[in-house]
Structure 1
Amino acid sequence: MSTETTTTNPEAAAVPPPGPASVDSHVPHGHKRLLTRRDRITLGLMAGLPTILHIALVWVTALASIALAFTTWDGIGFDAIQWVGLQNFRELFTQNPQFWPAVQHNVVWFVVLILVPTPLGLFLAVQLDKKIRFSRVYQTAFFLPVVLSMAVIGFVWQLVYNPDTGLINSVIGANTPGHYIDWIGDPDLNLWAILIAASWRHTGYMMILYLAGLKGVDPSLREASSLDGANEWQTFKNVIFPVLRPTNTIVLVVTIIESLRAFDLVYVFNGGAEGTELLSILVTNNIIGESSRIGYGSAIAVVLLVISLVVIVPYLVTTFRKERRS
């Protein structure tokens, strides 16, 4: 009896004892382990805190601005808030002499950005896409203004436009007494002077967007076009540019948003003085100006929000439709 009980089966001895490995072997391949409590807390903090901050700083403030647009309030005590309905909007559209010039300047801002730096950025992107020597250096140089703060760009161009010691007046000889050209103080010149600085920055932005779009063009399309005998311009016009249609849409939306939210550069130059009024400047001057009119400034902000939504919503709808179809 003792001999039989001590006899071991070779096959049985080869089977490993039950343990974590043998338990895992019985788990189906599609099974996912449950998150631990620590994992859930970590994910909750990583997703929850940004969500709370986004809601508090964007959605709550936007809804508060919409509500305040129908009131009058000087910002001191919530008891001073008075409901006035559409009075702020009626005053804005009919009695404010700065509103329509500000709208016009925003339109001019958009037209200049779409006609000058956008084609220039496309041209630079096409040239850099040819993999010329030192292309990385050129990309960095052209994109550097986009990285810089708008305040820094404003200070740099103030030195360029200085009527006494500025670069432009020194080159054209307009820095002598009686012959100064006040690029920033002249209402007929200041907007165009600021737009040159804005275009200098916007060119690098457009270059990067178009360069990214050109990297996605199928090389076989270029080869087929060259085999058909098309020159470089015909290839770009008939083959490459149509493929860049999604990039053109993004460029259009970005340019419209840039023209609507233009503020920093103008405020650094002259604080939105005569000739450079913008909707964003009017919002700031009415809310944090000497005579704080938060309700009136909120009404201008609501108009700016509506104009932005008219541009952004169709773009988002089109994008989501494409994603569903794909």
Structure 2
Amino acid sequence: MPIGRLMPMMREREAPPVPTRTVGRRRRFTRRDAGVIGVLLGIPVLLDVFVVWGPTLASVVLSFTSWDGIGDISWVGTDNYENLFTNYPAFWPAVRHNVLWLAFLGLVSTPFGLLLAVLVDRGVRFSRFYQSALYMPVVLSLAVVGFIAQLVFSRDQGALNAVLGGGTNPTDWLGDPDLNIWMILLAAAWRHTGYVMILYLAGLKAVDPALKEAAAIDGASERQTFFRVVLPTLRPVNIIVGVITVIEALRAFDIVYAVNKGRNGLELLSVLVTDNIIGEASRIGFGSAIAVVLLLVSMGFVVTFLVQEMRGEKNR
């Protein structure tokens, strides 16, 4: 056989087989993989059911009953809700105070936190120090903030009266029902502002600088650039801040309870729930009705806000 015909035949024999790629094959999970996934997903789901949704559903059911925690449970229907709306004097002041909390945190504390985030993002001198100092109250619980508020606004030994020089006729900042709610709101806003600032600062760091440069080239001022270019890109952060603000306003409890146990002008729905369920009254059914009202109000705000934001995203 000629050498010219023999060499191609040898190359064909020496060439390795080309692996065939299987299309559409999926890796099957082994029993060990399924067990690991079941444990990693099952334990959090069970904890969420037993710790969150279980007590929530139990509160909804108990709100239609009369129970003191020891004796028999008797079904009373909607009597708890009727008494709550008509024959419970502390309910409507607590509702007004919760609405006031929401308005103050949403209209005062949140815009101020955004302003601080913008100033820090511009790289002012000592911005690292300002960022740390403003965020420091966030690591404190509201109970600790309440104790600090007592040190500042106390009538006899408070720092505010000492600075104002009201030694002969000191102002009772925490004892006067017309003043104490505003002092506590200032203390709560002091903590909430730092939280909002950090969230917006993270959002501002993620804004593409090219957008600002393009707006500047088009002749937009800094104010127009912020409201028409930067702020619309912060829509995801706005959703988070809005939900957190609603939750913080409606779940406020420990700061007012640390000051005067949520009485004398500091009534909140969360305090009424505690007083009725674990207080001397032990009206678990009635307290559960208040808790259900608080749950519905909070869910109404959050769901409405999220639906509006989702519709805005679809229309963009």
TM-score by length of 2: 0.87
Tell me what 2:51 maps to: 57
Q: Does 292-301 or 114-123 show the bigger shift?
A: 114-123
2:162 paired residue among 170, 195, 215 = 170
* Cα displacement (A) at 1:41: 2.4
Q: Does 106-115 or 206-215 show the bigger shift?
A: 206-215
Tell me what 1:107 maps to: 99
Partner secondary structure for residue 84 of structure 2: helix
Cα distance change on mapping 1:11 and 1:233 into 2, 3 Å: closer
Q: Judge conservation of contact 2:262–2:268 (CA < 8 Å) in 1.
A: yes
Partner secondary structure for residue 116 of structure 1: helix
* Cα displacement (A) at 1:14: 9.7
Tell me what 1:202 maps to: 192
Q: Does 53-62 or 314-323 show the bigger shift?
A: 314-323
TM-score by length of 1: 0.84
For structure 1, list consecutive stretches of 5 or more residues without a partner in the other structure. Answer: 1-8, 17-21
* Cα displacement (A) at 1:74: 0.2
Alignment of 1:66-81 (within 5 A): 66-77=60-71, 80-81=72-73
* Cα displacement (A) at 1:129: 1.4
**1:131-165 per-position Cα deviation (integer Å, ceiling 9, x unaligned):** 33443332222112112222222222221122222
For structure 2, list consecutive stretches of 5 or more residues without a partner in the other structure. Answer: 1-9
Tell me what 2:129 maps to: 137
Which amino acid is 2:92 matched to? W
Provide the C-alpha distance between the structure 1 equivalents of 2:239 and 2:42, rounded to a whole number of angstroms.
33
* Cα displacement (A) at 1:279: 0.7
Alignment of 1:1-326 (within 5 A): 28=22, 31-77=25-71, 80-174=72-166, 176=167, 178-318=168-308
Cα distance change on mapping 1:68 and 1:234 into 2, 3 Å: same
* Cα displacement (A) at 1:318: 5.0
Which amino acid is 1:57 matched to? V
Provide the C-alpha distance between the structure 1 equivalents of 2:12 and 2:229, rounded to a whole number of angstroms.
70
**1:71-118 per-position Cα deviation (integer Å, ceiling 9, x unaligned):** 1000014xx111111111111111111111001101111111122211
Partner secondary structure for residue 165 of structure 1: coil
Q: Does 275-284 or 218-227 show the bigger shift?
A: 218-227
Partner secondary structure for residue 313 of structure 1: helix
State the aligned residue count: 307
* Cα displacement (A) at 1:199: 0.5
Cα distance change on mapping 1:74 and 1:313 into 2, 3 Å: same
Provide the C-alpha distance between the structure 1 equivalents of 2:145 and 2:66, rounded to a whole number of angstroms.
36
* Cα displacement (A) at 1:217: 2.6
Cα distance change on mapping 1:320 and 1:222 into 2, 3 Å: closer
Q: Does 227-236 or 58-67 show the bigger shift?
A: 227-236
* Cα displacement (A) at 1:29: 7.0
Partner secondary structure for residue 152 of structure 1: helix
Provide the C-alpha distance between the structure 1 equivalents of 2:33 and 2:315, rounded to a whole number of angstroms.
35
* Cα displacement (A) at 1:263: 0.9
Provide the C-alpha distance between the structure 1 equivalents of 2:131 and 2:22, rounded to a whole number of angstroms.
51
CA-based RMSD of the aligned residues comes to: 2.7
Which amino acid is 2:33 matched to? D
* Cα displacement (A) at 1:324: 8.4
Tell me what 1:3 maps to: none
Provide the C-alpha distance between the structure 2 equivalents of 1:322 and 1:38, rounded to a whole number of angstroms.
44
Provide the C-alpha distance between the structure 1 equivalents of 2:22 and 2:128, rounded to a whole number of angstroms.
50
Identity %: 56
Provide the C-alpha distance between the structure 2 equivalents of 1:27 and 1:276, rounded to a whole number of angstroms.
71
Cα distance change on mapping 1:220 and 1:283 into 2, 3 Å: same
Cα distance change on mapping 1:181 and 1:36 into 2, 3 Å: same
Tell me what 1:4 maps to: none
* Cα displacement (A) at 1:241: 2.7
